[in-house]
A and B are shown apart, each in its own frame.
Chain A
């Protein structure tokens, strides 16, 4: 208990006496976590947008012309009864033609020339949200293949491309995150090393009078934790500023109509950033003190 008080007192004293170096270490951690936070925010919002798009995806199954209408309705009712299906709408060739004519000027003569079977009848199928993943949609679409349908479209290729892009972004983020982490660890460790170096006489004397490695290390770990915590809080504050000022204004300027949808980093991610800050601060301190202890008499 007394030892803990001594350790806390020494940590507080060192934080105060090396205010400039501690502020440097805190700023390095804050800068690293801010970069990581920006990446995580972008990643989180892209994932959220993709989730929304995934939910909007539906399948169009086009009937062969020779499938009788009773059979088409039977297929509609059969699909509607499946648990993974949210809704099924039958679109006749006439409905499809009307839909296209209303939207595309001067298309009617072209359709007349192509004949009455230019646009096939189809079933427009929407899956329940839980099943609206690219893989589930693709599996469902492949399951429809058979003599009744001429073609099944579900935008699979586009979704897969975007998911591939997201995977690439995640990989780049992981590599970037690792590089930023190592660079930050190196910079903070060297800053802490300056603090250790300025206190080398005191630490050497402590060792000579019988201080254990843990006793010498503990105040530095507390200092590192404080640096990490403050760094993380600064990074979150900076991230909030970036989110409020830049991102929202950019949205307005581009009139993307996404205002309110572009979210700030959720609580779980914020906790991860704080934990990363604590880890970075304490790991850097541990590295520096261990290096010193190994060389001290």
Chain B
């Protein structure tokens, strides 16, 4: 599913990732972990095309993302879901509108969007809350809205950058359980986190980064 060959990412003189070689299988659940500044978020940004590698090759489902033109980037992102620590919800839009956005941008009809939104809100435990606005929800509920938005188009891969970073223990577990259930449906899930307790509770492969180098978890 994901293959990295001698991947480097530099910002001027600073190396964010150094010679990373990695393979993540289809349907796998893995953590990207390490201290702050280790390169976790940079790896995720490279995977969803927000950044370009300085050197090396990055294959996503056989497609070389490092050589993908800006014009082809939307097609790549339509096949992946992304969850952020700060949720990135649009506060002037309702929960249903936020969740349906990924289908709206590909021109899906309104009735189909409404059906799918209702279904994914059920999956994340927010059935019947589509008419509410994000600010009226708790942090955990807002993150569940973000997860619903990420999975509404049945992506083959889900990237989550510190998805529980802004949540307390109980809410973090709820969100992790949702991500786990999504993975059980066949979606490859990659979660960037440094929450060791959470990783112990939901034990999956850990890709540990230190100063831009992958120091643990290269092989499955």
Contacts and interface: CB of A to CB of B under 8 A. Distances in A.
Interface in B101-136: 101-102, 104-110
B88 A205 contact: yes
Contact of B105 (A1, A17, A201, A210): A210
A10 to B, nearest CB: 9
Contacts of A151: none
B213 interface: no
B45 A209 contact: no
A254 interface: no
A2 B107 contact: yes
A212 B84 CA distance: 21
Interface stretch (B4-12, B75-83, B193-201): B75-83
A211 B105 contact: yes
A297 B50 contact: yes
Give the contact-size bracket for chain A. Answer: 20 to 34
B105 A202 contact: no
- Say what secondary structure dominates the interface of chain B: loop
Main secondary structure of the interface of A (DSSP, over half): helix
B75 A210 contact: yes
Given A210-B74, A210-B102, A297-B45, A205 B110 contact: no
Interface of A: 1-3, 5-6, 17, 201-202, 204-213, 215, 297
Contacts of A208: 48, 77, 82, 88
A228 B78 CA distance: 34
A213 B69 CA distance: 13
B93 interface: yes
B219 interface: no
* A-B pairs with lowest CB-CB distance, top 8: A3-B107, A210-B78, A297-B50, A211-B105, A210-B77, A209-B102, A210-B74, A202-B90
Contacts of B149: 209
Interface residues of B, number: 29
Contacts of A205: 88-90, 101
Interface string B50-86: 1100000000000000000011001111100010000
Contacts of A207: 74, 77
Contacts of B93: 202
A2 B109 contact: yes
Contacts of B104: 6
21 contacts: A6-B104, A6-B105, A6-B107, A201-B90, A202-B92, A202-B93, A204-B88, A207-B77, A208-B48, A208-B88, A209-B77, A209-B101, A209-B102, A210-B74, A210-B75, A210-B78, A210-B102, A212-B74, A213-B71, A297-B45, A297-B50
B154 to A, nearest CB: 13
Nearest to B146: A205
A204 B84 CA distance: 12
A206 B101 CA distance: 7
A204 B71 CA distance: 16
Contacts of B48: 208
Nearest to B103: A209
Contacts of B77: 207-210
A5 B76 CA distance: 24
A2 B108 contact: yes
B110 A2 contact: yes
A210 B88 contact: no
Nearest to B48: A208
Contacts of A206: 101, 105
Contacts of B107: 1-3, 6
Contacts of A201: 88, 90-91
Contacts of A211: 74, 105
Nearest to A296: B50
Contacts of B75: 210
B51 to A, nearest CB: 8
Nearest to A198: B92
B92 A210 contact: no
Contacts of A213: 70-71
Contacts of B91: 201
Nearest to B150: A209
A208 B91 CA distance: 16
A198 to B, nearest CB: 10
Nearest to B45: A297
